Amino acid sequence: MNISITIGFEIVAFSSDGVQQPLLFIVFLAMYIIGVLGNLIILIVIMIDRHLHTPMYIFLSNLSSVDICYMNITLPKLLYILLTGDNAVTSIQCITQLFFYNFIVGTEIILLSVMAYDRYAAICKPLHYHLIMSKKNIVLLLGMDWVSGCLNSLLFIYFASQLSFCHSKKIHHFYWDTKALVKISCPTRHFQIILHLESLLFGPVPFLIGLLSYIQIIRTILQIKSTKSRSKAFSTCTSHLTILTIFYGTVICTYMTPVSENSEIVDQIFSVLYTAVTPMLNPLIYSLRNNDVKKALFVLISHK
């Protein structure tokens, strides 16, 4: 390995001075607490209410688990830096964060596509829905999702650990991600191949699955004659469509924007959106726009 345990890096999070930033600490702490508690509530509600033991909500509970992991991977270290001003990290800490970050990102991308396919099956193939989304198929889909995310991250980390850092030891970001890694390293040919393969398999392919699913969903809904039935059908997928739009919108803005003088600041702003703001908003989007979740929450609160 070219990355030594003793190599030190600096995470330049919203400041190059390494000073305490109590105001930002309070903002991110609030987002962290709201996001983790909100997703935990969704998880608990789905686990307790038997009416929510359906494919759609099983996938939603996995999304909440992914969002909790997201926030715990990126925000605790940022909170420590903002509170203490100590932005030094070891290579082991960086590699560990990079592994879990890639693992969770890959898992979420595939999960969002699976959720889009679930809505497609429910609206476009209603007579075969329970056959398509049987318990066996759900377990298979979720197992493949989490395993593929893990294997992809392990492969990526193996090649990333061979890199040498020839440009800088300062990470101009609030966590260690692929873009930050590429900026400060000298990528090898093998690493570039893995990077392109990963970008293809976890970029256009899942995005196209989600896009094609919703094109078919919208076409099917528009063919429904009853306004009430059309509205009911569309309401079952608006929450997921909202989350899908926010996630891909922020990711595209982060990784597809051209490099400029202010690109690092822009990257951090968009990264905050999909690593902190989106996981914080997901429970609100599903609880406010979903009658089943609202009823389950009401029943849970009433019993308490």
Q: Per residue in 88-103, pLDDT tens? A: 888 788 888 889 998 9
β-pairing verdict for 8-11 and 88-90 = antiparallel
| H-only helix segments in 19-134 | 22-48, 55-84, 91-124, 129-132
Q: Is the pLDDT of residue 5 over 60?
A: no
pTM: 0.86
Report the percent of the chain where pLDDT is more than 70: 89
Report the percent of the chain where pLDDT is more than 90: 25
Residue with the larger pLDDT of the pair 126 and 264: 126
CA gap 101, 285 in Å, rounded: 23
CA gap 14, 181 in Å, rounded: 17
* H or E segment and range at residue 51: none
In which band, very low, low, confident or very high, does the pLDDT at 133 lie, cut at 50, 70 and 90? Answer: very high
In which band, very low, low, confident or very high, does the pLDDT at 132 lie, cut at 50, 70 and 90? Answer: very high
